[in-house]
Amino acid sequence: MLMVARGSEAYPPALEDLSRPPDTLFTLGDNSLLNSHCISIVGTRAPTQYGIRTARLLATAFGRAGVCVVSGMARGIDAVAHRAALEQGSTTVAVLGTGIDVPYPAGHAELHRVIAEKGLVASESGPGARAHKGAFPRRNRIIAALSPVTIVVEAGHKSGALNTASQALELGRIVASVPGPIDSPQSDGTNQLIRDGATVIATIEDALALVGAARTASPPPYQLNEVDSRVWSALAGGPLTVDALSSTTTLSARDCLTAVTSLEIQGLVESLLTGEIRRR
């Protein structure tokens, strides 16, 4: 564990934009990540499968592009973003509302250990500090300050992710939002952000462009299994709906959806707002 004092060389200049910067940061891991090229990804603790898939796709793309993913290690979107970045062999920073040695939630003890080993865990709370009212809004301001851009994937009206977005706006940072179904409670907050002027994330390229990153090459198709390969080949001529994929490949719609999910995780295809699937 290290203590990074305000005014020291290791203290991130980005935190000086806060009205009340933390006097000290307690850290576990690679301190250089406090001053790295990064992006904040936040969202609800109770995401839909759409939110999980989108957070994974975003964090995977940023990881491949060498952009550090910052989040709060909470259940749901935060944890998905951290894990996706780590799966790419990339870096991630978890900002805690508890003490640096207190994984929160407790079920994320292993994630906490891996981030401390391969990325960075940071907190302004001293060792042993437990979660309490007000701790997480204070944590959120650090997440917002560390990155030039905060992306909200899914958030209800009272989600802590909206608090992070609000604090990012107060700092003059860019806030971007992933649109969602108008009948989904998890999309209430993200759609509201868009209505109020947040940048819309309609494609992975939209997200990467916000931090000046470019998509890296996807894994080669020869790694695909037989079903995934049939779906991949069917998309060579352009975007298709799941029904069209099923007809073209003679696979069931269920098998096509499973293959599409697999290909999305690998970064080879993406789902469009029209409901069609296309190669990346």
pLDDT tens by residue, 78-108: 999 999 999 888 999 999 999 999 999 999 9
Q: What is the pLDDT of residues 25-62, one digit of tens each?
A: 999 999 999 999 999 999 999 999 999 999 999 999 99
DSSP strand E in 84-167: where?
92-95, 120-123, 149-152
Q: How far apart are the C-alpha atoms of 264 and 100, rounded to whole Å?
A: 34
**Hey, how many other C-beta atoms are within 10 angstroms of the C-beta on 2?**
12
Q: How far apart are the C-alpha atoms of 271 and 263, rounded to whole Å?
A: 10
Q: What is the pLDDT of residues 240-250, one digit of tens each?
A: 999 999 998 99
More confident: 133 or 73: 73
Question: Would you state the pLDDT for residue 80?
Answer: 96
pTM attached to this predicted model: 0.79
Two structure tokens written together for 246: 């099923």
Three-state helix/strand/coil letters over 168-208: HHHCCCEEEECCCCCCCHHHHHHHHHHHCCCEECCCHHHHH
Q: What is the pLDDT of residues 141-181, one digit of tens each?
A: 999 999 999 999 999 988 899 999 999 999 999 999 999 99
The residues, ordered by sequence, that sit 6+ positions from 209 with a Cβ below 8 Å of its Cβ are none
Two structure tokens written together for 150: 């905060």
Question: Would you state the pLDDT for residue 222?
Answer: 60
Question: Would you state the pLDDT for residue 217?
Answer: 52
235 pLDDT tier (thresholds 50, 70, 90):
confident
**What angle, 0 to 180 degrees and rounded to 10, lies between the N-to-C axes of helices 253-265 and 226-234?**
90
Q: How far apart are the C-alpha atoms of 35 and 2, rounded to whole Å?
A: 16
Burial of 133: CB neighbours in 10 Å, binned 0-12, 13-18, 19+: exposed
Helix H segments across the chain? 49-64, 77-87, 109-118, 135-146, 160-170, 188-195, 204-210, 226-234, 242-249, 253-265
Give the domains, in start order, of the chain with CATH numbers. 2-210 (3.40.50.450), 221-279 (1.10.10.10)
Residue type, 18: L
Q: Is 123 helix (H, G, I), strand (E, B) or coil?
A: strand
Mean pLDDT, to the nearest integer, of 12-18? 96
Question: Would you state the pLDDT for residue 216?
Answer: 67
Q: Is the pLDDT of residue 279 over 90?
A: no
Kindly tell me the number of DSSP H helices and DSSP E strands found in the chain.
10, 11
